[in-house]
Amino acid sequence: MAAQFFVDWSFLRIKWFTNDSSSGSVTVSGLQVLGIPIESPVQKYLFCLTVVAVFALMAKNLVRGAIGREWMAMRDMDVAAAVIGIRPVYAKLTAFAVSSFIVGVAGGLWGFVHLGSWEPAAFSIDRSFQLLFMVIIGGLGSIMGSFFGAAFIVILPIFLNQLPAWLNIPMSTATASHLESMIFGALIVFFLIVEPHGLARLWSIAKEKLRLWPFPH
């Protein structure tokens, strides 16, 4: 939270952070990776998909490995973890470092690949809250959950916003957008009540049920 305000403050005042841009918005033109331009939406999508796939695999394997088990032990009960020989400072610091690195890469992709140009307002406190909600709604402590959470927070509002047009319901832009926030808010409350462990838990329950279906024990 403090970082949120501090970073905002410093980007306003330290000129070289924004490359001396007069409007405070940072732009990079002619993005390319290994000589392949990243310009059209398809190119951007494929580039982001590659990065996401690499990071998801990395995260999944980190969590399966020794260090991931240390993090889980630390999360479940730090005193017990310390007793069995896990260094609390090391486990917590690595957890912060790895997650900050992943979020940092995500921020870079968001700012330069998706938006194309960003100003501190693109990383406002609302964005931080959205990230937090993605984690909570998706399901704490699961890799799959972060995908569900992100889809819920990012794609669902856009879907809700487009729905009236697809169904050919004449509706003013303002009404559609108010309805979008209302339904979205209601869905957040609904999912948190029905499944406090997040969408990832719903997903694993569904998988279990389908495996046994149609002959449950």
Question: In whole angstroms, how close is the CB of 59 to another protein at the nearest point?
Answer: 24
Q: Which of 163, 176, 183, 187 binds another protein (CB under 8 A)?
A: 176
Q: Which of 3, 174, 194, 210 binds another protein (CB under 8 A)?
A: 174
Nearer to another protein, 18 or 146 (CB): 18
Nearer to another protein, 55 or 123 (CB): 123
Q: Which of residues 8-67 bind another protein (CB under 8 A)?
A: 12, 22-25, 27, 29, 39-41
For another protein (CB under 8 A), the number of binding residues is: 31
Q: Which of residues 91-150 bind another protein (CB under 8 A)?
A: 110, 114-122, 124
Question: In whole angstroms, how close is the CB of 29 to another protein at the nearest point?
Answer: 6
Question: In whole angstroms, how close is the CB of 25 to another protein at the nearest point?
Answer: 4
CA–CA dist 83, 80 (Å, integer): 5
Nearer to another protein, 70 or 119 (CB): 119
Question: In whole angstroms, how close is the CB of 155 to another protein at the nearest point?
Answer: 10
Question: In whole angstroms, how close is the CB of 180 to another protein at the nearest point?
Answer: 8
Q: How many CB atoms lie within 10 A of CB 107?
A: 16
CA–CA dist 103, 146 (Å, integer): 12
What DSSP string runs through the chain?
Answer: -HHHHHHHHHHHH-GGGGTT-TTS-EE--S-EETTEE--SHHHHHHHHHHHHHHHHHHHHHHHHSHHHHHHHHHHH-HHHHHHTT--HHHHHHHHHHHHHHHHHHHHHIIIIIIISEE-GGGG-HHHHHHHHHHHHHH-TT-HHHHHHHHIIIIIHHHHHHHHHHHTT----HHHHHHHHHHHHHHHHHHHHHH-TT-HHHHHHHHHHHHHHTTS--
Tell me which stretch binds another protein (CB under 8 A): 68-76, 131-139, 142-150, 174-182.
174-182
Question: In whole angstroms, how close is the CB of 44 to another protein at the nearest point?
Answer: 10
Which residues form the interface with another protein (CB under 8 A)? 12, 22-25, 27, 29, 39-41, 110, 114-122, 124, 158, 161-162, 172-174, 176-178, 181
